[in-house]
A and B are shown apart, each in its own frame.
Chain A
Amino acid sequence: SYVLTQPPSVSVAPGKTARITCGGNNIGSKSVHWYQQKPGQAPVLVIYYDSDRPSGIPERFSGSNSGNTATLTISRVEAGDEADYYCQVWDSSSDHSVVFGGGTKLTVL
């Protein structure tokens, strides 16, 4: 089955740019979706289809996807961005299943 690999943690100072990666075999050929989850809350979709933002998500959130790595970029990081972030794809191989990455804890220093 398809595997998505994320770094367990990323740290960034306020006002700087955070980049969270999601690795997978030829992930650039798939659509990647990103979720933000704050403690005690359900996840929230922040990026879909690689780089689209749902309404209500700040423009500071952006995404890209190429080759074997997809990236969620958060510009001008704020304290409120501290959360767990998960990438997700649809695996259209024989499994035809939803796959989540292991999650990345973003810490705002």
Chain B
Amino acid sequence: QITLKESGPTLVKPTQTLTLTCTFSGFSLSTSGVGVGWIRQPPGKALEWLALIYWNDDKRYSPSLKSRLTITKDTSKNQVVLTMTNMDPVDTATYYCAHFQLEEVDYWGQGTLVTVSS
């Protein structure tokens, strides 16, 4: 049974750096074809993909946010960490961690709401 859970701050101030951790179980990030990614959704708005890291440490980033994002994995801890710098109120959203089987998401975390406000 695959599960993913996001953790991190619920409130960050403008200009701060956001660090989110995805802790997963039921699969290994060493398995060929597997990836873990981050997707966010502002309140009432559409899904937006942020970043993705594959079993072979191949990393992909949203072109529009690439300069602000870093994704890393710790296979031994079954964790993936996303950092996003220079947070702004427009970054207020629910952030989802997701299991990718090559190019599609077949499992999602429950999501965590991050609010950016002073």
Contacts and interface: CB of A to CB of B under 8 A. Distances in A.
Interface of A: 1, 31, 33, 35, 37, 42-45, 48-49, 54, 86, 88-90, 95-103
Interface of B: 37, 39, 46-49, 52, 60-64, 96, 102-106, 108-111
A31 B101 CA distance: 13
Contacts, number: 59
B105 A86 contact: no
Given A42-B111, A100-B47, A103-B47, A33 B104 contact: yes
Given A88-B47, A103-B46, 10 more contacts: A31-B104, A33-B103, A42-B110, A42-B111, A43-B47, A88-B49, A97-B61, A100-B39, A100-B46, A101-B46
Contacts of B62: 97
Given A99-B49, A103-B47, A45 B106 contact: yes
B60 A86 contact: no
B77 to A, nearest CB: 23
Nearest to B110: A42
Contact of A100 (B48, B52, B61, B64): B48
A97 B49 contact: yes
Contacts of A43: 47, 96, 105, 108
B67 to A, nearest CB: 14
A54 B106 CA distance: 8
A97 B60 contact: yes
Contact of B37 (A1, A98, A99): A98
Contact of B104 (A37, A42, A49, A101): A49
A89 B102 CA distance: 11
A98 B46 contact: no
A48 B49 contact: no
